[in-house]
Amino acid sequence: MSTDPTTRSTDTDAHAHASVEAANTALYAAFEALDFRAMEALWAHTPDVVCVHPGWEPLSGWPAVRESWRAIIANTGYMRIRPSEVEVHMEGPVGRVLCIENLYTIMGAQAVHSRVAATNVFRHTPEGWRLVLHHGSPISSEAGQIPETEPGLS
């Protein structure tokens, strides 16, 4: 039996993994429902939290992060979010979730689908798993397409 903690799996590890995955699911449920109170309950209310919304400057500290979510939720009429390619990685009292946010919104009379690469970091607290970092980076519609040649090289 290995004593290397990086290769050992226990029931506690499985429970923590499932709890972080559930917290991540709750994050997207709160966002999709445009439920500010539920979103607020998922975050650690500490000065070290960080949020980077797609196209925004990084926000540090709970008051700035809270107000960003308040503004987004207040100014969004319709949102559907379907996370895909979800990966959960555990490191002691910290869980990191990588995923693709598939966002469906209405702009004018058009349904719009956009994709965001997201990293969500949860820390275990006495209150449970709380979000301490959300970073979303837009994925262009051309992402993943590799040009046949380097520009300027022929």
In this predicted structure, the answer to whether residue 144 has a pLDDT above a threshold of 60 is: no
The full set of domain ranges for the chain reads 11-139
Q: Over the stretch 7-54, which tens digit does the pLDDT of each residue have?
A: 344 457 899 999 999 999 999 999 999 999 999 999 999 999 999 999
| Residue the block writes with tokens 């917290």 | 23
> Could you say which of 3.30.1330.120, 3.10.450.50, 1.10.3720.10, 1.10.1740.10 is the CATH number of the domain covering 11-139?
3.10.450.50
Q: Computed over its alpha carbons, how large is the radius of gyration of the chain?
A: 18
pLDDT at residue 109, as a whole number? 83
Q: Over the stretch 94-104, which tens digit does the pLDDT of each residue have?
A: 999 999 999 99
Virtual CA dihedral for 43, 45, 46, 51, nearest 10 degrees?
A: 40
pTM above threshold 0.95: no
Q: Over the stretch 59-103, which tens digit does the pLDDT of each residue have?
A: 999 999 999 999 999 999 889 999 999 999 999 999 999 999 999
